[in-house]
Structure 1
Amino acid sequence: MSSTDLDGMYLIQQVSDMTGLSKQVIRKWEERYHLVQPKRLENGYRIYSEVDINFLLSVKTLSEQGHTVKRAVEMTKARKIVVDAVPEPPQSLQHPAILNDYVFQLLEKGAHCDELELHLVLQKAYHSYGLDVFLTSVIVPFLKEVGDRWHRKEWNEYQEAVSSLVTRDFLVQIRRNYQCRENASLIVGACLPYELHEIPLHILLLQFMQKGWRTMLVGASPAPGSIELLVEKLKPAKVLLSATTTAPFENDPDLLKRLDQFAVDNKHIDFYLGGTGALAYTTNKKLRAIHVTNSIEETLR
């Protein structure tokens, strides 16, 4: 029986795949702390709702932050009382702390490295939500969960790679089919040399495309100098540089200095640098022409 057969309800094995918690732990938290109260099918099998799964994930996250399970349960229940007492608008679905049905399905399929099912779920979510909500409510929280589970060693490299690559390919497909005016302003998004993670740029460029921009992507780990050559050729209005790790700067200590000088020499173009690695590396470093930011609002000005 699949999750779709249960219409938004999930069997305990599916919940285990989605949360990374064993079935034994789920039952223990249910019975000892009364955290969730799953319904039962006629055959006695437990079935869990989206709310139940979010509660389990909340307790898991709080316990990983150092709280006892008992305290984490108390905090989660207290949060539920506050949320129930203050009605939220439909847009609350976009809150990254609240995962939705499509994210749960993706986590389940990703745990089993099922490429076809991952693609089909992404396709359904995209057509259901539209691009903007799809990116903020499905893609971003799903990839965050994937990254967190890989770092915690709950998922192996194959599970992380399959989930990330299927997601990347789906975003590439959207970008290729997205129609933009030929005379629209151009923005170039570029991974820095030695940077392997291009998905953040796909998300950013799609958000720019919604605003009417044409986009060009320089993918993972481009050759040194290729960014400058492309920018000189295309003359874009903006350039987004991305580094999720500090590897680009560690492998080429002069990289940032050269790019900043290139930006100085091309003052008619706005240069932005973002990503976790870039923010960490540029702390206490003053750049002359490159703006360091993780805010798409700033880059859209």
Structure 2
Amino acid sequence: MAQYSIRELEHLSGIKAHTIRIWEQRYGILQPKRTETNIRFYDDTDLKNILNISFLNEQGYKISRIAKMSEQAIADEVLTLTQGNIAYPQQLNGLLLAMMEMDEQKFDKLLTTAILQRGLEKTMLDIICPFLVKTGLLWQTGSINPAHEHFISNLIRQKLLVAIDGQVIPEKLTSQRFLLYLPEGELHEIGLLFSNYVIRSRGNHVMYLGQNLPFPDLEICVNFYKPHFICTAFTYMPERDKVQDYINRLACLANEIIVYLAGHQVQFEHLIFPPNIVRITSLPEFIGHIQDVSK
């Protein structure tokens, strides 16, 4: 069983810690437990309950009304409301609950509704990216395991693949050419798939090579495809002490090609980026670059 501090509940639910304490005292909304050293904590049941309460509260339900409902009644009301059109903060909390319960039908319906309402790009930026950040916090607290991560990753991946499949492929010779790949050992593909969608949606041609590509194979593809741009991300690989060497190899391989480089492993201040390597710190920044270079 995972344990959460009140600050972690705040980050996950969007409800201020001060407000949670007031609700506890006035309405008995949550019943925090205590460790042997008398430190307050909350468990998975508390987290699910506060996510549901946050959902209803954002929908206009007064807390005094919610406090009179049982946990099951609250959950049933949330399930009913998720069948309709709801704002993105509620969709975000709904996705978190669906993930924790591994409820594919609920997760798919919420995600599909968001995409229909906002389009794929805004859904990724406004809902999926914050959702993945909160998922990371749940991972840190031990609330979810690799099965949860694979569950949501595959569902999101399916939506991206369907959207990409529906895009028109532009003429290669008359378009800006982008080569997308992940380095050897790197398997986190959702960001790269979304980049593929963004680049194609601006009328550019993409050679998508996916995850876990050895450097010699990259060299062959660069010589064959002759891209104007390369996009990649280092989330976990290469290892930190090998990142600078990999950056230098990329710069030499593609000294006339602009390389957009994202991911956790390239955000350290000590790294040196040659002129043709552009470090990306956020998806909106990346989209801005693509917008600027697209014909």
Q: TM-score range by the shorter chain?
A: 0.5 to 0.7
What is the aligned length?
Answer: 231
Per-residue deviation at 1:29? Answer: 5.1
Per the alignment, residue 264 of structure 2 pairs with 276
Structure 1: 5+ residue stretches without partners: 1-15, 51-92, 94-98
The answer to whether residue 229 in structure 2 is matched with residue 204 in structure 1 is: no
**1:292 maps to 2:279:** yes
Cα distance in structure 2, aligned partners of 1:116 and 1:218: 31
The alignment status of 1:147 with 2:148, answered yes or no, reads no
Report 1:174-193 matches (<5 A).
174-182=163-171, 183-193=174-184
Structure-2 change in CA distance of 1:33 and 1:237 (3 Å): farther
2:42 aligns to what?
Answer: none
Counterpart in 1 of 2:114?
A: 125
Task: Letter of the 1:158 partner, please give it.
Answer: A
Compared CA separation, residues 109 and 44, structure 1 to 2 (3 A): closer
In structure 1, the residue matched to 2:24 is 31
Does the 8 Å contact 1:194/1:251 carry over to 2? no
Q: Which moved more, 1:188-197 or 1:35-44?
A: 35-44
The correspondence for 1:158, drawn from 147, 169, 172, is 147
**1:216 counterpart SS class:** strand
Q: Supply the distance in 2 between the matched residues of 1:288 and 1:43 (Cα, whole angstroms).
A: 62
Q: Distance in 1 between matches of 2:224 and 2:197?
A: 22
What is the RMSD computed on CA atoms of the aligned residues? 3.5
| Structure 1 residue 100: Cα displacement | 1.8
Name which structure has the greater RCO, CA cutoff 8 Å, separation 6+: 2
After superposition, the Cα gap between the structure-2 partners of 1:263 and 1:154, relative to the gap in structure 1 and judged at 3 Å, is same
Q: Describe the shift of the 1:160–1:143 C-alpha distance in structure 2 as closer, same or farther (beyond 3 A).
A: same
Instruction: Please give the alpha-carbon distance, in whole angstroms, between the structure 1 residues aligned to 2:226 and 2:67.
Output: 65
Distance change in 2, residues 1:137/1:253 (3 Å): closer
- Give the whole-Å Cα distance in 1 for the aligned partners of 2:248 and 2:69: 65
Please tell me the residue identity of whatever aligns with 2:209. Answer: V
Q: What does residue 105 of structure 1 align with?
A: 94
Q: Residues of 2 paired with 1:42 and 1:252: CA distance?
A: 52
**Secondary structure at the residue paired with 2:111?**
helix
Asked if the contact 1:245/1:278 (under 8 Å) is kept, the reply is no
Q: Provide the rounded CA distance (Å) in 2 between the counterparts of 1:231 and 1:33.
A: 64
1:242 positional shift? 0.9
Paired residue type of 2:165: R
Preserved CA contact (<8 Å) 1:191 1:221: yes
Alpha-carbon contact 1:239-1:270 (below 8 Å) kept: yes
**Secondary structure of residue in 1 paired with 2:185:** coil
Secondary structure of the corresponding residue to residue 254 of structure 2: helix
**Letter of the 2:278 counterpart:** H
Distance 1:224 1:112, change over 3 A: same
1:225 aligns with 2:216: yes
Distance 2:290 2:12 in 1: 35
Structure 2, unaligned runs of 5 or more: 1-8, 30-56, 79-86
SS at match of 2:186: coil
Q: Corresponding residue for 1:86?
A: none
- TM-score normalised over the length of structure 1: 0.65
One-letter amino acid of the structure 1 residue matched with residue 24 of structure 2: E
Structure 1 distance, partners of 2:274, 2:221, is 22
CA, structure 1 residues 119+47, in 2 after alignment: closer, same or farther (shift >3 Å)?
closer
* Larger deviation, residues 134-143 vs 33-42: 33-42
Specify whether residues 136 and 252 from structure 1 end up closer, same or farther in structure 2 by C-alpha distance, changes over 3 A only.
closer
| SS of residue matched to 1:219 | coil
Is the contact between residue 13 and residue 93 of structure 2 (CA under 8 Å) also seen in structure 1? no
1:259 aligns with 2:250: yes
> What is the TM-score normalised by the length of structure 2?
0.66
Whether the aligned pair in 2 keeps the contact of 1:189 and 1:240 (CA below 8 Å) is yes
Q: Is the 8 A contact 2:183 2:232 kept in 1?
A: yes
Identity %: 20
Q: Which residue of 2 aligns with 1:247?
A: 238
CA contact under 8 A between 2:261 and 2:279: conserved in structure 1? yes
Partner secondary structure for residue 247 of structure 1: coil
* Secondary structure, aligned partner of 2:261: strand
* Structure 2 CA distance for partners of 1:173 and 1:39, relative to 1, 3 Å: farther
How far residue 160 of structure 1 moved from its aligned partner, in angstroms, is 2.1
Deviations along 1:201-241, one digit per CA (max 9) or x if unpaired, are 12222222232223232222212322222222122221112
